[in-house]
Amino acid sequence: MNKEAVVASLNQQLSLNKSSKVLIVGLGKTGFSVAKFLQQYGIQFAVIDSRNKPPMNDALIQAYPDTAIFTGGFDKSAFDVATHLVVSPGVSLQEKSIQKVIQARTKIVSDIDLFACATDQPIIAVTGSNGKSTVTTMLESMGNRSAIRTVAGGNLGIPALDLLDESVELYVIELSSFQLERTSALNAKAATVLNISPDHLDRHHTLAGYIEAKQKVFSGNGRMILNEDDEIVKDMVVANREFISFSLQTNTGFHLEERLGEIYLMDGTSPLMKQKELPLEGMHNVANALAALALGKTVGLDMQSMCRALRDFKGLEHRMQRVAKVKGVTWVNDSKATNIGACVAALQGCQEKIVLIAGGDAKGAEMTELIPVIKEKTKCVVLIGKDANKIELAINGCVPSYQAKTIKEAVQIAAELANAGESVLLSPACASMDQFKNYQERGDKFMAAVLELAA
């Protein structure tokens, strides 16, 4: 889109123009991307952050020295003059200052709204409780293998606004519930909710609130890609909207089917590739591959190229990542499993007996949901983090449990408990912020402790 078209789109869809006064709430990577975008289109903005020195503070001052920046709290005067708020995903909409301006009918927009107004190229939108980063990355590879200039970002890696480029032919955007709850202008050509399991209930308060936020990915009139095996997602179908289903359990849409002793990934009656050709472990990753194929088909990607991309796909760091084999014990890093559903999927995909390392910040989730899969798949559990006691009480002795103060101590305890032929799996079912900067640091420290053990 040329500049004039973007300006017209912003005004038409968001009532955003050169007379607007935008307050960017939160100065992390997303907030800084919004500042760059608004500056490019000559829209007035100021920035506010409750932290004394937010991560992108110095970068903003250097780039735009005349910008008003309020830090160390939420100054009422900054909110009073704003016509629009762009609230970063890390900031809750329940903040008192934000609730007041919502009640005063100040318009809330998101970086995803700005992004959607600024491109006329097709967008694939991916959300769900688990698997969204894997599917997003698969699709980026599929697009580029199909000779379509494809970029991916959003909740994964690069902020959506920083992806905008005239050379891009397809955008794949991973979206969290926090991004979606404040988004109104998204109209993706293809969109999916991969699955739903309780997550972020400390912010959304109820499962219904979380589901409502996720469902906003289907705003607009694009094709819906629905998980036939997830009752909540299956019920999101909208009358008179095109949809494709994917399933591990039925034979509709993209599914699995046995032919001449081999299991194939199928599109209707057409075999696409053998399941054993997928290099990723776990049936949840087969479901991810089926979802990616359905999304890619919707935007016209070449099926053979998509299958080649899947055969070469090596997976993501910190997602069912094999670290080492020590004395016959396999060590697996699934630090990205920051909720119950991800941990359940990881355990269900394992064939051998597991010593599970779990724990951290449970984000208000009901951890008793882990009991059936822990009883079935694990030998014992080693717990870390602030909610270790909560998880120990929840699993109620269904298997032996131990507690460790650090990830290194957890590795040492697990090494004593695991026998040859078994696996030790770090799949925390919890967020990492209680002990680490993020799940990546948690995974890195786990791998370092395992490699030290191996040495």
| Active-site hit among 200, 214, 297, 379 | 200
In the chain, what are the domains? 3-109 (3.40.50.720), 114-311 (3.40.1190.10), 321-454 (3.90.190.20)
Question: How far apart are alpha carbons 168 and 310 in whole angstroms?
Answer: 22
Specify the 3-state DSSP secondary structure of 252: coil
Question: How far apart are alpha carbons 455 and 452 in whole angstroms?
Answer: 5
| Active-site hit among 84, 107, 132, 297 | 132
CB 184 within 8 A of CB 217: no
Token pair 């399941």 is at which residue?
A: 275
Chain CA centroid to CA 25, Å: 21
Active site residue 155: yes
| Active-site hit among 144, 155, 285, 339 | 155
Per-residue pLDDT of the chain (455 residues; tens, 9 = 90+): 999 999 999 999 999 999 999 999 999 999 999 999 999 999 999 999 999 999 999 999 999 999 999 999 998 889 989 999 999 988 888 888 888 888 888 899 999 999 999 999 999 999 998 899 999 999 999 999 999 999 999 998 899 999 999 999 999 999 999 999 999 999 999 999 999 986 666 665 688 888 999 999 999 999 999 999 999 999 999 988 999 999 999 999 999 999 989 999 999 999 999 999 998 877 889 999 999 999 999 999 999 999 999 999 987 788 888 899 999 999 999 999 998 988 998 898 788 899 999 999 998 888 888 999 999 999 999 999 999 999 999 998 999 999 999 999 999 999 999 999 999 999 999 999 999 999 999 999 999 999 998 88
What tokens appear for 378 in the block? 């694990």
What tokens appear for 86 in the block? 């762009």
pTM: 0.83
H runs (alpha helix) in 15-129: 29-40, 57-63, 76-80, 96-103, 111-117
